[in-house]
Amino acid sequence: MAARFKGRAAVSRPVAFSSLLVMPVTDTDTTLLDKAAEKAVRATPVPLAYRVRGLSDRSIAWLFIMPTIVLLLAINIFPLIWAVYLSFTNFRANRPNAEIDGVGLTNYQRVLTDPDIWQAMQTTAHFVFWTILLQMLIGFALAYLIDRKFRGHAFWTTVILIPMMLSPAVVGNFWRFLYQPQIGLFNYVYSFFTGVEPSSFEMLGSVTLSPWAIIIVDTWMWTPYVMLICLAGLRSIPDYIYEAAEVDRASAWRQFWSITVPMALPFIMLAVLFRAIENFKMFDMVVLLTGGGPGSTTEVASITLKREAFESWRTGRASAFAIILFVAVFGLANIYVKALNKVKQR
């Protein structure tokens, strides 16, 4: 139906419908549009009828958008402003009646000079780097293979998607069982293939292995997401480009590096952005797998923040940390998007 109205770009007022009547209408079924167009000819001055009926557009726009704005103001914006305010005070949520003093930038200064917090940021960066690297490699490879369109590829794509739909907390909790030394399936399978004694290593208890335990679960869960976005990228490349390359006798290797990769790059970069933002906030899975331990080897930024806010009850300082995190993510994401747009324009 829409196909008949190509070149409708400029049509925005009802009056413009009369011009549509010039087009030859070949099919006999009277669609809503045809009826409307017919009436438009017969109608009394259209703009008048348009204005009198019902609510004005302005009030409808208002009516439609207002509830959302009110909700967001109350539950997103207001708390955000409150957090900014608290970050300049010494408020503690477990002592609501104590006097609140403004402390200026002290909280920010303390957060930025706290070695524990820098440690947590480093841990987070480490996670973000490795999870993204692994997910991109596996996700892109899978997308490339699925795009070969073997028989049953739609079904297997759905199967691969399943982990990303599940709750990271609930499934992460169960991975704790899989990682048990001695009785856990992970250790058993690993020892089955390598011959290492299954009780000789503890994925969650060891300083060197526990970050990898989390990286493995995150990769298991989120590779499908990267795969999907890469797949959308691969499918956006029109066939004729490959056909032209084939005519020019470009090798498959050459086609991959000079057509597939550059043309899918904006999508790959998008996937990196989304995963980076998500993993920067990583919380559920880490809490349930290691709780930040052993020691503080896997203590990512969100966990430090939770400790500050809900265990040490230094609300002001936690708010300052939260705002620093937000500004950092927001700033980095904006720079990244600029880079992304440059790649797109190329």
Partner 1 sequence: MSTANTAHSVVEPSLMTKRIAGAIVILYAIITMVPLAWIFLTSFKSPPDSISYPPKIVFQPTLEGYCNLFTTRTRQTPDYIQSLGAPTSTCDEITRNRNMVIAGPSNYWPRFQNSLIIAFGSTFLAVFLGTLSAYGFSRFKVPLADDLLFFILSTRMMPPIAVAIPIYLMYRQLGLSDTALGMILLYTAVNVSLAVWLLKGFIDEIPREYEEAAMIDGYTRLQAFRKVVLPQATTGIAATAIFCLIFAWNEYAFAVLLTSGAAQTAPPFIPTIIGEGGQDWPAVAAGTTIFLVPILVFTILLRKQLLRGITFGAVRK
Place of tokens 């207001």: 78
Cβ of residue 26: shortest distance to partner 1, in angstroms?
Answer: 19
The answer to whether residue 330 forms part of the interface with partner 1 (CB under 8 A) is yes
Q: What gap in Å lies between CA 175 and CA 304, rounded to an integer?
A: 23
Q: Which of 137, 162, 207, 343 binds partner 1 (CB under 8 A)?
A: 162
| Distant-in-sequence contacts of 299-303, Cβ < 8 A, 24+ apart | 299/119, 299/120, 299/123, 300/120, 300/123, 300/124, 300/127, 301/117, 301/120, 301/121, 301/123, 301/124, 301/325, 303/120
Q: Which of 25, 153, 263, 296 binds partner 1 (CB under 8 A)?
A: 153
Q: Are 191 and 183 in contact (CB under 8 A)?
A: no
Tell me which residue of 336, 331, 345, 232 sits closest to 275, measured CA to CA: 336
Q: Which of 71, 133, 335, 339 binds partner 1 (CB under 8 A)?
A: 71
For 165, other C-beta atoms within 10 Å of its C-beta total 9
Count of residues engaged in binding partner 1, rule: CB under 8 A: 122
Q: How many residues does the chain have?
A: 346
The answer to whether residue 134 forms part of the interface with partner 1 (CB under 8 A) is no
Residues 287-326 that bind partner 1 (CB under 8 A): 287-288, 301-302, 305-306, 309-310, 315, 318-319, 321-323, 325-326
The answer to whether residue 82 forms part of the interface with partner 1 (CB under 8 A) is yes
Residues 167-196 that bind partner 1 (CB under 8 A): 167-171, 173-175, 177-178, 182-185, 188
The conformational region for residue 9 under phi > 0 = left, psi -120 to 50 = alpha, else beta, is: alpha
195: tokens are: 């011959």
Residues 214-273 that bind partner 1 (CB under 8 A): 220, 224-225, 228-229, 231-232, 239, 242-243, 246-247, 267, 270-271
The answer to whether residue 152 forms part of the interface with partner 1 (CB under 8 A) is yes
Q: Which of 25, 90, 205, 284 binds partner 1 (CB under 8 A)?
A: 284
Q: What gap in Å lies between CA 185 and CA 302, rounded to an integer?
A: 29
Cβ of residue 294: shortest distance to partner 1, in angstroms?
Answer: 18
Cβ of residue 129: shortest distance to partner 1, in angstroms?
Answer: 18
Residues 3-22 that bind partner 1 (CB under 8 A): 5, 8, 11-14, 17
Cβ of residue 299: shortest distance to partner 1, in angstroms?
Answer: 13
Q: Which of 33, 209, 234, 263 binds partner 1 (CB under 8 A)?
A: 33
The answer to whether residue 43 forms part of the interface with partner 1 (CB under 8 A) is yes
With vertex at residue 118, the alpha carbon angle to CA 115 and CA 122, rounded to the nearest 5 degrees, is 135
Alpha helices in 179-300 (DSSP H): 185-194, 210-235, 239-247, 252-255, 261-280, 284-289
Q: Which of 23, 48, 79, 104 binds partner 1 (CB under 8 A)?
A: 79
Cβ of residue 130: shortest distance to partner 1, in angstroms?
Answer: 18
The answer to whether residue 40 forms part of the interface with partner 1 (CB under 8 A) is yes
Instruction: List b or e across 6-34, with b for residues whose CB sees 16 or more CB atoms inside 10 angstroms.
Output: eeeeeeeeeeebeebeeeeeeeeeeeeee
The answer to whether residue 142 forms part of the interface with partner 1 (CB under 8 A) is yes
DSSP annotation of 313: -
Tell me which residue of 269, 270, 174 sits closest to 220, measured CA to CA: 174
Cβ of residue 31: shortest distance to partner 1, in angstroms?
Answer: 9
Residue number, 207 or 327, with CB nearest to partner 1: 327
